Amino acid sequence: MTLPAPDALRAANRRGVLALSAGMASFVTNDALVKYVSQSLPASELIFLRGVFATTLLLAIAAATGELRQWALLRDRRVLLRAGFDAFATLTYLTSLFHLPLANATAINMATPLFITLFAVMAFHERVGPGRWLAVAVGFAGVLLVVQPSGAAFNAYALLCLGGTLLHAGRDLTTRVIDRGVPSLLITLSTALAVTLLSGFWGLGHDWIAVTTGQLALLALASIFLSGGYFLLTVSMRSGEMSVIAPFRYTGLLFALVLGFAVWGDVPNLLAWGGIALLVGAGLAVLHGQRSRAVGTPAAD
């Protein structure tokens, strides 16, 4: 894969970092809304209904922008492969989540940047120096300090969760190889469709209950943030160097901490504050490595 010129590459990295950070904020907001609704509605049902809303929204936007006229691109093998990765990753992660403490599942899922960086080296021959590897590892250590998973709870479902994490990394790798002529909005639409269809089949084996107007309103709102997250994630993975952009997936945990405090009054303990410091430090280290390369000074990256 031929990388763009230095100035263009730095701009692409910056665009990817901003898109991924905003996307993680969207996903976290969606998760908070879904968590609230899940107290009174089965998971398979709410995921399906949220997916219907998201698909409808994306179809309307694609029609309004004229991109729906290129709907045949949805049959592109790489687009279908990416959608399949995402749909099964969602199902795998949620299945494991039902049998694992949230902290354990979150910690495992946050290993995605490590896999993406590894895949970027193997598949795209990106040059990843020890500084960038260290930043990714330090960020993951920060995640562990924040979520503080319990060792006793790791079991076969933890391996299933790890499989979901690999599927997420595979989705992001596939995003990179989709032809640039395929609009990011259509890729986003394919994901929403795949997740909706798979959750619908999943729900066939569960009892469905009546949905209130309030629940529908919250799921409709969640679908807006979910659609935004899907789109921003796609944009980020089609920009710059994956090994630079991927560590900023950890910003999702920071957004979750802020939202947890604002909505539920959750306050991090001393270990979690140490983890937050590591997360922020890892992000700053990656950005510093980019600035160092920009001015031509040596960097550990």
Question: Within a domain: residue 1?
Answer: no
Question: Within a domain: residue 301?
Answer: no
Question: Within a domain: residue 47?
Answer: yes
- The residue segments making up the domain with residue 170 are 6-295
95-135 pLDDT, tens digit per residue, is 787 777 666 677 777 788 888 888 888 888 888 788 888 88
Question: Within a domain: residue 151?
Answer: yes
Question: Within a domain: residue 14?
Answer: yes
53-71 pLDDT, tens digit per residue, is 999 999 999 999 999 999 9
Model confidence, pTM: 0.83
Q: What is the 3-state secondary structure (H, E, C) of the chain?
A: CCCCCHHHHHHHHHHHHHHHHHHHHHHHHHHHHHHHHCCCCCHHHHHHHHHHHHHHHHHHHHHHHCHHHHHHHHHCHHHHHHHHHHHHHHHHHHHHHCCCCHHHHHHHHCCHHHHHHHHHHHHHCCCCCHHHHHHHHHHHHHHHHHHCCCHHHCCHHHHHHHHHHHHHHHHHHHHHHCCCCCCHHHHHHHHHHHHHHHHHHHHCCCCCCCCCHHHHHHHHHHHHHHHHHHHHHHHHHCCCCHHHHHHHHHHHHHHHHHHHHHHHCCCCCHHHHHHHHHHHHHHHHHHHHHHHHHHCCCCCC
Question: Within a domain: residue 101?
Answer: yes
Question: Within a domain: residue 241?
Answer: yes
